[in-house]
Amino acid sequence: MGKKSILAMLLVTNAFFILKYVGRTTLNPYLCMGIYLIFFAACYFLAFPRIKSEKRARQLCLTLLGAMVAGIAFLLYKIDPMSIRVDRWSATTYFLEGLFNGVYPYGVHTHVSQSNFPSPFPLWQYLNLPFWLMGDVGIGLIAFLCLLTFTLRWFTASWRTTLLALVLLALSPCYWWEVYVRSDGLSNAILIFCVILWMEKRGISFRSHWIATAIICGLAASTRLSAIIPLAIYVVYDYFKSERISIILSPLIALGVLVFFFLPYILWDTTTWVFFTRNPFMSQTSTGNVWILFIMVVIALGLAFLYNKNFEQYTENTGRFVFGFFLVAICYHHYMHNAEVPVFEDADFDISYLNLALPYFLYTLTTHKNQE
């Protein structure tokens, strides 16, 4: 039942993207969704089980990876980013342009409107610097796709598992939406997921390496607020079972890392203190409800204690939580502010947040399928 619910969440996420974006064309979105589900089922339930050889799986995996990289490169070349009404790419590009031109980077607006400002935290902006220097932050999509592929292969020691993950990703309209609009949200989630795989593989836990874990949590928090959710679920069980000194000092260490990355922007202008009138926290916390957040935190703590260091259960529960958290948040925002507008016609119904659960869906479904 557990894996079926994860599969259902993945299909719901993709169905949302089909209904929202195909619905803006002359095509029938429900017909397209039906065709998609049939094709998906054929690949997942019929085609993949026929691949038994690791050698064959390796060949297919690398071929598919090459095809996806070529597809991403083609879309980056053909699509003018200025024509897209999604500003994830310009939130990074304009930030870095402002930074290197001596302009307060969190005060520059994105290409969408004068009221949209960069929201990613400093470390994520710096990680995208190589791609910006190469001429297009969208190149990061290729880098993080390769990171996910080879980290999964390293962690699972199975080309067959890695191939299925890549197939599921390639079959996901929600992933190709990320590519089409040059979004970096999923890339951020992939990075955090790969860090968690590395920690699990190397045996780095809060109990055995609490200082390193606290630093890693601080680094994750320095990319986006949402990035800390999976890591928090991963470490919180050991956190509450540890000695008092580590329980007290580790949040201070994580906070210190976060402050370290923000300090140049806090001190950017000590006359007007511009940071306190325009900063990324304002963008990342502009929607939502404190009671929803409180309830979801309680649920997250419960899930953390339920999985109790069973990594497969952890990825399954984290996928459910991230999906549920953002689904509740975007539905709440819609019905509080745009209830009179049909859901899939509401520009503020930002289903892209559901993509942050994708890495955990992929791992759960691929490891389960490979065991059959």
How do residues 72-106 score in pLDDT, each as one tens digit?
Answer: 999 999 999 999 888 889 999 999 999 999 999 99
- Structural domain containing residue 342: 53-370
Cα distance between residue 233 and residue 295, in whole Å? 15
**Cα–Cα–Cα angle for 144, 177, 196, nearest 5°?**
35
Looking at residue 24, its pLDDT comes to 86
Looking at residue 104, its pLDDT comes to 96
Q: What is the mean pLDDT of residues 351-356?
A: 93
- Identify whether 47 is part of a domain: no
- What percent of the chain clears pLDDT 90, i.e. is strictly above it? 68
- Answer whether 147's CB lies under 8 Å from 153's CB: no
Statement: residue 179 has pLDDT above 90 = yes
- Identify whether 64 is part of a domain: yes
Q: What is the mean pLDDT of residues 116-140?
A: 95
Looking at residue 266, its pLDDT comes to 96
The position carrying tokens 């310009």 is 90
- Answer whether 22's CB lies under 8 Å from 32's CB: yes
Give residue 370's pLDDT band: very low, low, confident or very high (50, 70, 90).
low
If you average pLDDT over every residue of the chain, what do you get? 90
Looking at residue 291, its pLDDT comes to 62
- Name the percent of the chain in helix, strand, coil, to the closest 5: 75, 0, 25
**Cα–Cα–Cα angle for 188, 192, 196, nearest 5°?**
165
- What percent of the chain clears pLDDT 70, i.e. is strictly above it? 94
- Identify whether 36 is part of a domain: no
- Identify whether 39 is part of a domain: no
* More confident call, 236 vs 370: 236
Short-list 163, 322, 340, CA closest to 232: 322
Looking at residue 136, its pLDDT comes to 95
Give residue 9's pLDDT band: very low, low, confident or very high (50, 70, 90).
very high
* 327's tokens: 């689904």
Q: What is the mean pLDDT of residues 336-343?
A: 80
Cα distance between residue 111 and residue 303, in whole Å? 40
- Identify whether 13 is part of a domain: no
- Answer whether 118's CB lies under 8 Å from 108's CB: yes
Statement: residue 153 has pLDDT above 70 = yes
Statement: residue 52 has pLDDT above 60 = yes
Query: In total, how many domains does the chain have?
Result: 1
Short-list 321, 315, 317, CA closest to 359: 315
Q: What is the mean pLDDT of residues 132-137?
A: 96
Looking at residue 276, its pLDDT comes to 94
Looking at residue 11, its pLDDT comes to 96
Cα distance between residue 75 and residue 178, in whole Å? 11
- Identify whether 10 is part of a domain: no
- Identify whether 11 is part of a domain: no
The segment with the largest mean pLDDT, out of 75-89, 113-127, 139-153, 232-246, is 139-153
List of residues 6+ apart from 65 with CB closer than 8 A: 145, 146, 149, 166
- What DSSP state is assigned to residue 344? G
- Other CB atoms closer than 10 Å to residue 171's CB: what's the count? 16
Give residue 48's pLDDT band: very low, low, confident or very high (50, 70, 90).
confident
How do residues 210-256 score in pLDDT, each as one tens digit?
Answer: 999 999 999 999 999 889 889 988 998 889 888 999 999 999 999 99
- Answer whether 230's CB lies under 8 Å from 192's CB: yes
- Identify whether 201 is part of a domain: yes
Cα distance between residue 155 and residue 195, in whole Å? 11
How do residues 276-327 score in pLDDT, each as one tens digit?
Answer: 999 998 877 765 555 666 676 777 777 777 665 688 889 998 999 999 988 9
